[in-house]
Amino acid sequence: MTHRIADTFYDALAKLTPQEQKQVKTSAFDFQMDPSLPGLGMHRVDRARDPDFWTARVNRDIRMVIHKKAGQSLLAWVGHHDAAYRWAETRRIESHPRTGAIQIVEARETIEEVIVQRYVEKAVELPRPLSHLDDDTLLSWGIPTDWIDTVRDVTDETVLDIAGHLPTEAANAVLSAAVGETPIPATISENGADPWEHPDTKRRFRVLDNLEELQAALDAPWEKWAVFLHPAQQEYVDRNFNGPARVIGSAGTGKTVVALHRAARLAENTNGRVLLTTFNRKLADSLAQKLPQVASAGTLGRITVEALPVLISRLHQERFGDVEIVDETSLRHFLEEAASAQGIAVDPDFLFDEWTLVVDAWDVATKGAYRELPRLGRKVRMAASRRDALWEVFRAVSDRLNHAGLKTEAQLAHDLSKAGDFPFDNVLIDEAQDVSVAELKLLGASLGGRPNGLFFAGDIGQRIFRAPFPWSAAGIELRGRSRSLKVNYRTSHQIRSQSDRLLPETLIEADGNEESRTGITSIFDGPAPTFREFRTIQDEISGLRSWIQDRLAYDNVPATELAVLVRHASDVPGVESALDLPKVQVLPMHDAKGAEYRAVAIAMLNDGVLPDESRLLAAKDEAQLDEVMNTERHLLYVAATRARDHLWMSGVAPTSEYFADLLVR
């Protein structure tokens, strides 16, 4: 017998409690060992549209739905008794008449009562963006025959619901077409080809040759993206570029997923040395964890996954030997000493920023260069005479560092740029909006002109660590090689649309390019986010604790899938002990970058906490104030968009001014 497991089985399994999941795994094992085992109580589903659906008993309440036919079995779904029967009664498994792919097709009538009824009165007046499409086109997208009319009738309001009931390739095509893109037709099998060999079939059903494979399949979550990319994602995975390219898009649109697949593709199809990187170690670790889902074991060894600062320091060490990095306190001290030795009165923070963001970042080596340099990343204007005077301070500090054998992190990157032998051919950079000037300059100098040399994934709306600067000045020209993703896979429609209110509809990059953030769709619905304002911190903690307990108890959210985020790391221990829920993680918002959870609670959103008052007070002028306001706003956007299904935000009155933006448009 050939045993298979469907992606729908995983989705359903994930919704059960850990205890139930354990029992399901045992029953799946029993079934694969002996499908006729009496304890499984195999039972044909009576009223099913497809006569080959059976149920197997896991415990008093839970049933697995199994499709069983002529030497083949498929674990299709699992859940509570009534839901399992309903699932099986309303589906059939068949090969698509045009593409040949095997699909699990939902009976169209089941959604009529839910969707058509809900929208029918309105639908008559609303535009139907797909109404002009003929059967042939819709079939070529893999739309099941009896869904064709329903798809032609979608409106902006129903498209999400309808797509959620279609096989993935059909849903992807419908969502693309609804936002004005041209879907790529599905693969068509040759006449007589085995439908189980169709690429779309293989994406949703896995063959399980033995019990070890079943064990591995049940233990490792099967990320859908590992198998089914959106055509817009696929394009940026496959395309060859004759210079640096970039995928952008708001949070959760699958930019990281594209970078992972592209890294695997380049390693598989070329002899290039591939680097998959990002701006810090934690995010690099998470890339390394995900990569095995898309790259074969043989290819994995050919992809280096390392954070840029770690890589740069390693390469520098290998080439130039040990160096000592100057710490911030010493550097500030050197700058201040040099300024007073020159008799220059200057604000110490300004001096430090000028060194860090201009002189050191851009590797300015001469007075002339400093005078001529555009004020990259700095909005403060400065007279030439003032620059000349300051230059003497920077030169003195530079000499002092040289004599002491000390370097800055930026200098390590500059040294490597000059040495000119960066040991990679293809570099993919995730969370690129937070990469430093020196790192980007090194990448630009090494691979900026090489086909497929540099590929960036990022979102300027999530820039929280670095001041903006024009990439072209770092040798990165993206003209015509940047595209944005529009389908959000992570966050429910309700959470995404509310979080989007934090950012303007158009963001402008330091190069002057505009990025529109409109036209994004989420692929699923969920409960509205909860916003609460409290009188005291005690009230807030107790409200938050009951919200968390409800999520754990009623929504089956495992504690590992829930995170409480706060603005300041120093508040973490206090919130942890006040909440007294040992399994629930509390972390600073910055640490949640790149992560995702089923439920997120953002607490202590008080006035003075976000935006962080100490940063606001340290700002020296309007420009710096703007920058602080922007990065703090981005930080809240990052935190809110970590949530898949449930989001809570709370503070003690008066709450953060961003609260008002979230609530009112």
Ligand X SMILES: Nc1ncnc2c1ncn2[C@@H]1O[C@H](COP(=O)(O)OP(=O)(O)OP(=O)(O)O)[C@@H](O)[C@H]1O
Comparing CB distances to ligand X, the nearer of 519 and 573 is 519
Comparing CB distances to ligand X, the nearer of 88 and 638 is 638
- In the complex, the smallest distance separating the C-beta of residue 638 from ligand X, rounded to whole angstroms, is 7
- Cα gap 635→643, rounded to integer Å: 14
Calculate the CA dihedral of residues 211, 215, 218, 219 and round it to 10 degrees: -170
- In the complex, the smallest distance separating the C-beta of residue 101 from ligand X, rounded to whole angstroms, is 17
> Which residue is associated with the tokens 């040991």?
423
518 is in an annotated binding site: no
Comparing CB distances to ligand X, the nearer of 251 and 507 is 251
- In the complex, the smallest distance separating the C-beta of residue 491 from ligand X, rounded to whole angstroms, is 8
250 is in an annotated binding site: yes
- Cα gap 70→67, rounded to integer Å: 10
521 is in an annotated binding site: no
| 8 Å CB contact between 140 and 243 | no
- Cis amide prior to 470 (ω within 30 degrees): no
**Strand locations in 36-113, DSSP E?**
43-44, 53-57, 62-69, 72-80, 91-95, 102-106
Largest interatomic CA distance in the chain = 92
249 is in an annotated binding site: yes
Comparing CB distances to ligand X, the nearer of 229 and 245 is 229
- In the complex, the smallest distance separating the C-beta of residue 291 from ligand X, rounded to whole angstroms, is 13
- Cα gap 423→343, rounded to integer Å: 45
Calculate the CA dihedral of residues 560, 565, 568, 569 and round it to 10 degrees: 0
389 is in an annotated binding site: no
Give 46's contacts (C-beta < 8 A, 6+ positions apart): none
The residue ranges that bind ligand X (CB under 6 A) are 223-225, 228-230, 233, 249, 251-257, 459, 462, 489-490, 594, 596, 641
Structure tokens at 392: 């003497």
256 is in an annotated binding site: yes
- Cα gap 625→615, rounded to integer Å: 8
- In the complex, the smallest distance separating the C-beta of residue 478 from ligand X, rounded to whole angstroms, is 18
DSSP one-letter string for 553-584: HHS---GGGEEEEES-GGGHHHHHHHHT-TTS
- In the complex, the smallest distance separating the C-beta of residue 233 from ligand X, rounded to whole angstroms, is 6
For residue 597, which amino acid is it?
A: Y
- In the complex, the smallest distance separating the C-beta of residue 459 from ligand X, rounded to whole angstroms, is 5
Calculate the CA dihedral of residues 145, 146, 148, 149 and round it to 10 degrees: 150
36 is in an annotated binding site: no
Q: In 471-536, which residue ranges form alpha helices assigned H by DSSP?
A: 493-500
Comparing CB distances to ligand X, the nearer of 21 and 233 is 233
Beta bridge partners of 600: 563, 647
Structure tokens at 386: 């003032």
Comparing CB distances to ligand X, the nearer of 225 and 394 is 225
Comparing CB distances to ligand X, the nearer of 221 and 504 is 221
251 is in an annotated binding site: yes
- In the complex, the smallest distance separating the C-beta of residue 499 from ligand X, rounded to whole angstroms, is 11
Comparing CB distances to ligand X, the nearer of 24 and 229 is 229
Beta bridge partners of 507: 515
Binding residues: 249-256
Which positions make up the binding site for ATP?
A: 249-256
